[in-house]
Copies of this chain bind each other. A is one copy, B any other.
Amino acid sequence: MRKVNLGVIGAGRIGRIHARNLKFQIPGARLLAVADVVEESARTLADELEIPTCEKDYRRVLANRDIEAVVICSSTDTHARIIVEAAEAGKHIFCEKPIALEMEKIDQALAAVDKANVKLQVGFNRRFDPSFRRAKELVESGKIGAPQLLRISSRDPQPPPLDYIKVSGGLFLDMMIHDFDMARYLLSEEVTELMATGTCLIDSAIGKCGDVDTAVVLLKFQSGALGTIDNSRQAVYGYDQRIEVFGSKGSVVVENKTPTEVTIHSADAIQSDKPLHFFLERYQEAYLAEMNQFITCILKDQKPPVGGADGKISVAMGYAAMESLNSGTYVKVTL
């Protein structure tokens, strides 16, 4: 059985997830190297997973002739540069979202990928969640007729550290970007214009960073369908990830996923589980499925289902939302 030799660049939280999946759960993958600017992180992960090579400099991974593909999980500001270099080195690329916070950098990265004719898959993991994938299939099958309304609620259990928020690109590019992608994915069509509103209701320190912590965006799709996305940086009851697609023949609703199927009935109340804690728990299967997909695309020479254009459009939507938030008007989504 042919295996794809890979290197993981970035040994943080997400890098470790992908590395473990590649090592243990994906028969078609062979993990040869891990790199991290914090060399200690790379070494710890390499030791744990018995990865042959660990590096401080990702360029040494790119230089490794045995390695066919890289998984980029480093900090966002390095994504585009590494994509360019990886493409030039002829490696297939899996890159965490977003490709970059600057549209020009994204264009440069996509141009390099095109030129090198390597595969690029962007880490929109939620597309691979069994529930959302099933929702997409149902919409595509015509089961609910023509989509008319979309609702996405996406709320985190708690805000990230302020230091992170400062470099994150803001709620629309850091958090709602997933929902922009989900909206396009579920309806298989583009958003033509959007209207964003947002405010700071959770922590005024977030506002002082120039960001919002609560936001609602109204979407208009090519077909005339309408959508709303709401985001909150803090749902005290846990990671809230729900969608609804409503159409001419019915609707499909995705509810939250819980750790158990237990309910407790007492004199006070009927209680059930809070949602799975956060993205690592909620999207465990999705992280594995997206990486399986990437490996399959390499082995079978297929185009990854979430490519560079998807990565670019979602960032463009984020910028449109930021512009709309400032102007108070609809903003067209353009590429």
Contacts and interface: CB of A to CB of B under 8 A. Distances in A.
Interface of A: 23-25, 27, 48, 130-131, 134-135, 138, 143-146, 148-149, 151, 153, 155, 195, 197-199, 201-202, 214-216, 218, 220, 224-228, 230, 232, 234-237, 246, 248-257, 259-267, 269-274, 328-330
Given A254-B262, A330-B328, A226 B216 contact: yes
A257 B259 CA distance: 10
Contacts of A262: 131, 134-135, 138, 252-254
Contacts of A257: 261
Contact of A250 (B144, B153, B237, B250): B237
Which A-B residue pairs are the 9 nearest by beta carbons?
Answer: A250-B266, A24-B24, A237-B265, A131-B260, A269-B271, A236-B267, A255-B261, A251-B265, A148-B201
Contacts of A130: 259-260
Nearest to A237: B265
Contact of A201 (B25, B215, B224, B253): B224
Nearest to A23: B24
**Count of identical protomers in the assembly:** 4
B254 A267 contact: no
B214 A236 contact: no
Contacts of A215: 226
A146 B267 contact: no
B248 A265 contact: no
B226 A251 contact: no
A261 B273 CA distance: 14
A246 B234 CA distance: 10
Contact of A265 (B216, B220, B253): B253
Contacts of A252: 262-265
Contacts of A265: 235, 237, 250-253, 274
A269 B261 contact: no
Given A261-B256, A262-B253, A218 B202 contact: no
A195 to B, nearest CB: 6
A249 B267 contact: yes
Given A131-B260, A202-B248, A237-B251, 18 more contacts: A130-B260, A131-B261, A143-B264, A145-B236, A195-B218, A197-B226, A201-B224, A228-B230, A236-B248, A236-B267, A250-B266, A250-B267, A251-B264, A252-B262, A252-B264, A253-B265, A269-B274, A328-B330
